[in-house]
Structure formats: structure tokens, C-alpha cells
């Protein structure tokens, strides 16, 4: 959410940013919110003036009551004096007007907030301009993409040969978009998460397991309305939502917090299950475990001062690249264009892993710098040594999200005989096994 003062003084910058994001339907909102803001400030100013009048009149009335009491009258008798009652009658309509102005100001501020939460954040100048994800820009490749001289089966078929997946039973118990992982695949799933946990701890991040449900005020603080509608599962009868990523509850951890500047940066890594509706996400590798409603993820989150946020942005995405390369999986980085950025994001980069079967890359992680948008919505501020305060910057990035990551792992480590190599760094988490062997 933008600073209202910034929007008020820089409306053309805000409008140009909206155009860069190809959201021209939001352009009239800028003028509308400026008009509402003026009405709100006028109401507040008039209310302040009237309150000053009441204070002045009350002081004069108090002086009259004081004189009457000095003459021996009780407080009750003084209140019945004609001069005091005349003063009270004069103040009453002013108080009524103040109350009406307060209601008007509250209603205007609520409408202003609603509009401000739909106006996109100002994107970084380095973001490429484009309408949608088809215009995202490849930045760099890490590792050589390799296609073996044998046919690579679909990842679900690889899992089935390893007796590692059961979607039929999950369909009976829960429905489409769910799965049972079992045996070596289930252990591998846990192994990549455990390795990711230790990988991030070794890089100085503090490990967390957060709440898996959050309140609505946290939901609207961490994401846009469109994302919320397409992603979040609501708990019926409760003001609670299942998280779509641990970023939600980890950023929410700092709601209405004032952090001493010397405690920055906050560098956290968190494990959680994730629950997503995946509305509108049809037609992309529907078979298998690419598009699912429930998965698990290791995330990284940073809360820092504005001057350091771009530095941490580079640190975060490099962590994901290093993690995948330590498993010998080729990856590339893809800069998200303006039209592909969610409204709160300043800059975002996807990490994509190589698929030997499809002979292309696919997304396995996303790194985002949200500037002060989440902090402004949630009230996350930083106190400087001189006592002044400012809004923090927040960032997040995926370390690893199996079972999607398992697609890249199985395809890139598959042998012609159906066995799957286990990289050395994962072997301690797999009981020392060097290969997964198909079950007969």
C-alpha cells in the first residue's frame, strides 16, 4: 500500500506506474482517492476547529462555575445557574456537529483505505515492462541442461515404479489435487526439506515452524485481494484462513511491532504445509504433483531497512540457486515483468529448474521484494536511535517446495535402468542410500 502523502504529491508517477502494469482501469482511482483524501482532511480540520471552540467555551464555563462555588454554591447548584446552562446549550449543537464529522471522517478513511489497497506498489526502475509472464526475461543459467539418450518418463510414472505415490486413494479420501507419498519418495520428500532447513541455518537464518492459520487482517496485510480470492481457503465460522505459504504467518509475526534499528535485519527460514485453491491454474502439467492443493515448503523471510532491501533480494535468490546446484540440478533465473508482478511487489525473480523430459525449465521458487507495502499494511515499523520511526522493508523467497521440486530431482537424477541417484549432500537424510531402486 502506498503512502497517501506520496500519492497526493506525485499522482502522475502513480498513474504512470499503473500504466506500466497494464492496469489502466485503475487510473481513475488515483483522482478519486485524492478527492476523498481532501474531504477527509477538510472534515478533520473542521472538527479540530470546533473542538478548539468547545475547549475555549468549556474553559469559560469552568471559570463561571468556579466563581459561583467561591460564593458558596455547591457544584450541583452552580450547574443550574442560567449562565452555565446557556453555555451548555451553546456547546451541545457543536458537539453534535463534531460527532457527525467524526463519523464522516471514519467512513471516508475506510473508503480511502479500500482504494489504496488496490493501487499497485511502485515497481523498481530495473523491472522489464511487459503485459504478462510470456514477457518475463531470462537473466542467467546455472549448470548445463542435459537430456539423456533414453526417454525420461513422466514424474508420476517414475514415482509409481518406486512405489512412492498413491493418488487414487487420495482421490477417495479428499479429492482431486491431493496425494499420498509413501516409501522412498516420502522419505526423499522429507530429506529435501530437512536438508533445506540445515542449508539455511548454516547461512545464518533462524529456523521457525509458524502457525498454519492466520486471521483476515494478516491475510489482507500480506497479499492483494486478487491473490487472496484465488489462493486462500477460509475456515468456515472462524476468522481464520489456511496459509498458502509460511511467508504469510512469518510476516504477520511482526504485525503492529516497532523494531529497534539495531535488531535489523531479521533473517528467518520457516517450514510449513501450504494450502492453495489454485483457481485458474489449469492446463499446465495437470497430471502428477505439479499443480496441487496441498504441499510443503521451506521459505526464507527478511525484514530489513530500506537501504538494504535490494542487497538482501540478491542474497535470497542466490540461496535458492545454490541449494539446487548443490543437488546438481540445472536452474535459471527469470526476471518477472511489470504485468506479471502482484500489486504489492517492487521486484520479483523466479528460479526455474531444468526438466529433461519436457526439455524446458519450470518454476520451482519465487523471490520477491515488497518494499514497505506489507509493513505499511501491518504496521511494522523501525525505531532509529533518535526516536524517529520508519516502515521496514520485507522480502521472501522459496528455498524449496516439494513435491514440485521432486519432479526436477527425479528427472535429473534418473538412470536408464529406473534407479535414481541420490546426491552426496542428501545421503545422510536417506540413511546413507546412494540410489532409489524400483520396487517389483
Residue 86's pLDDT band, with cuts at 50, 70 and 90, is confident
Averaged over 77-104, what is the pLDDT? 89
Residue 39 near residue 125, CB atoms below 8 Å: no
For the cut 80, the answer to whether the pLDDT of residue 247 exceeds it is yes
Question: Quick count: other Cβ atoms within 10 Å of Cβ 224?
Answer: 19
Burial of 128 (0-12, 13-18, 19+ CB in 10 A): middle
pTM of the model: 0.89
Q: Are residues 73 and 200 in the same domain?
A: no
In a domain, 127, yes or no: no
In a domain, 123, yes or no: no
CA terminus-to-terminus distance, the chain? 56
* Domain CATH for 429: 3.30.930.10
User: How far is Cα 274 from Cα 295, in angstroms, rounded to an integer?
Assistant: 5
For the cut 80, the answer to whether the pLDDT of residue 35 exceeds it is yes
Q: Which of 62, 81, 116 is the last residue of a domain?
A: 116
Burial of 228 (0-12, 13-18, 19+ CB in 10 A): middle
Q: What is the pLDDT of residue 286?
A: 61
Q: Are residues 88 and 172 in the same domain?
A: no
In a domain, 49, yes or no: yes
Q: What is the pLDDT of residue 280?
A: 52
For 23-80, strand residue ranges (E) read none
Q: Which of 81, 116, 151 is the last residue of a domain?
A: 116
Residue 225's pLDDT band, with cuts at 50, 70 and 90, is confident
In a domain, 125, yes or no: no
Q: Are residues 146 and 221 in the same domain?
A: yes
For the cut 50, the answer to whether the pLDDT of residue 284 exceeds it is no
Residue 82's pLDDT band, with cuts at 50, 70 and 90, is confident
For the cut 70, the answer to whether the pLDDT of residue 236 exceeds it is yes
Q: Are residues 298 and 208 in the same domain?
A: yes
* Number of structural domains in the chain: 2
Q: Which of 68, 91, 116 is the last residue of a domain?
A: 116
Q: Are residues 85 and 190 in the same domain?
A: no
Sheet arrangement for strand 258-260: 258-260, 381-383, 389-391
Residue 288 near residue 268, CB atoms below 8 Å: no
In a domain, 76, yes or no: yes
Q: Which of 93-107, 225-239, 358-372 has the lowest mean pLDDT?
A: 225-239
Q: What is the pLDDT of residue 285?
A: 46
Q: What is the pLDDT of residue 282?
A: 47
Q: Are residues 69 and 207 in the same domain?
A: no
* Domain CATH for 29: 1.10.287.40
Q: Are residues 171 and 211 in the same domain?
A: yes
Q: Are residues 105 and 243 in the same domain?
A: no
Q: Are residues 330 and 423 in the same domain?
A: yes
In a domain, 345, yes or no: yes
In the numeric block, the cell 542435459 is attached to 146
Q: Are residues 159 and 286 in the same domain?
A: yes
Phi, psi of 420 (to 5 degrees): -130, 125
Question: Quick count: other Cβ atoms within 10 Å of Cβ 299?
Answer: 26
pLDDT digits (tens, 9 = 90+) for 400-433: 999 889 999 999 999 999 999 999 999 999 999 9
Share the mean pLDDT of the chain.
93
Residue 177's pLDDT band, with cuts at 50, 70 and 90, is confident
Domain span holding position 89: 4-116
Q: Which of 103-112, 123-132, 289-298 has the lowest mean pLDDT?
A: 289-298
Residue 89's pLDDT band, with cuts at 50, 70 and 90, is confident
In a domain, 124, yes or no: no
Q: Are residues 393 and 272 in the same domain?
A: yes
In a domain, 172, yes or no: yes
Q: Are residues 39 and 184 in the same domain?
A: no
Helices and strands counted in the chain (H then E): 14, 18
pLDDT digits (tens, 9 = 90+) for 257-279: 999 999 999 999 999 999 998 76
Q: What is the pLDDT of residue 283?
A: 40
pLDDT digits (tens, 9 = 90+) for 295-341: 999 999 999 999 999 999 999 999 999 999 999 999 999 999 999 99
Amino acid at each position: 500500500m502506498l503512502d497517501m502523502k506520496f500519492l497526493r504529491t506525485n499522482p502522475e508517477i502513480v498513474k504512470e506506474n499503473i500504466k506500466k502494469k497494464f492496469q489502466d482501469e485503475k487510473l481513475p482511482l488515483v483522482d478519486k482517492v485524492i478527492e476523498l483524501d481532501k474531504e477527509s482532511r477538510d472534515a478533520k480540520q473542521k472538527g479540530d476547529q470546533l473542538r478548539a471552540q468547545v475547549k475555549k467555551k468549556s474553559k469559560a464555563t469552568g471559570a463561571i462555575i468556579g466563581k459561583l462555588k467561591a460564593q458558596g454554591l455547591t457544584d450541583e447548584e452552580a450547574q443550574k445557574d442560567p449562565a452555565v446552562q446557556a453555555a451548555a446549550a451553546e456547546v451541545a449543537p457543536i458537539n453534535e456537529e463534531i460527532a457527525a464529522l467524526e463519523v464522516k471522517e471514519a467512513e471516508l478513511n475506510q473508503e480511502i483505505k479500500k482504494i489504496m489497497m488496490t493501487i499497485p506498489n511502485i515497481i523498481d526502475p530495473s523491472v522489464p515492462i511487459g503485459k504478462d509472464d510470456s514477457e518475463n526475461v531470462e537473466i542467467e543459467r546455472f549448470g548445463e541442461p542435459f537430456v539423456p539418450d533414453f526417454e525420461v518418463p513422466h514424474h508420476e510414472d517414475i514415482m509409481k515404479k518406486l512405489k512412492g505415490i498413491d493418488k487414487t486413494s487420495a482421490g477417495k479420501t479428499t479429492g482431486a489435487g491431493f496425494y499420498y507419498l509413501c516409501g522412498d519418495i516420502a522419505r526423499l520428500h522429507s530429506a529435501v526439506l530437512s536438508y533445506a532447513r540445515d542449508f539455511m541455518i548454516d547461512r545464518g537464518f533462524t529456523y521457525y515452524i509458524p502457525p498454519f492459520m492466520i486471521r483476515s487482517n494478516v491475510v489482507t496485510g500480506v497479499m492483494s485481494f486478487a491473490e487472496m480470492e484465488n489462493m486462500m481457503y477460509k475456515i468456515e465460522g472462524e476468522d481464520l484462513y489456511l496459509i498458502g505459504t509460511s511467508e504469510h504467518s512469518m510476516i504477520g509475526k511482526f504485525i503492529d511491532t516497532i523494531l529497534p534499528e539495531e535488531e535489523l535485519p531479521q533473517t528467518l527460514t520457516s517450514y510449513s504445509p501450504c494450502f492453495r485453491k489454485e483457481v485458474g491454474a489449469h492446463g499446465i502439467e495437470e497430471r502428477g504433483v505439479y499443480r496441487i492443493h496441498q504441499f510443503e515448503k521451506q521459505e526464507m523471510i527478511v525484514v530489513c531497512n530500506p537501504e538494504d532491501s535490494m542487497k538482501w533480494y540478491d542474497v535470497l535468490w542466490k540461496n535458492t540457486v545454490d541449494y539446487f546446484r548443490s543437488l546438481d540440478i540445472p536452474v535459471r533465473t527469470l526476471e518477472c515483468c511489470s504485468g506479471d508482478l502482484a500489486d504489492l511487489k517492487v521486484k520479483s525473480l523466479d528460479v526455474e529448474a531444468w526438466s529433461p523430459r519436457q526439455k524446458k525449465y519450470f518454476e520451482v521458487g519465487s523471490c520477491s521484494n515488497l518494499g514497505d507495502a506489507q509493513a505499511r499494511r501491518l504496521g511494522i515499523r523501525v525505531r532509529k536511535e533518535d526516536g524517529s520511526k520508519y516502515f521496514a522493508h520485507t522480502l521472501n523467497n522459496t528455498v524449496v517446495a516439494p513435491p514440485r521440486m521432486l519432479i526436477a530431482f527425479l528427472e535429473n537424477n534418473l538412470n536408464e535402468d529406473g534407479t535414481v541417484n541420490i546426491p552426496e549432500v542428501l545421503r545422510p537424510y536417506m540413511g546413507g542410500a546412494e540410489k532409489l531402486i524400483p520396487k517389483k
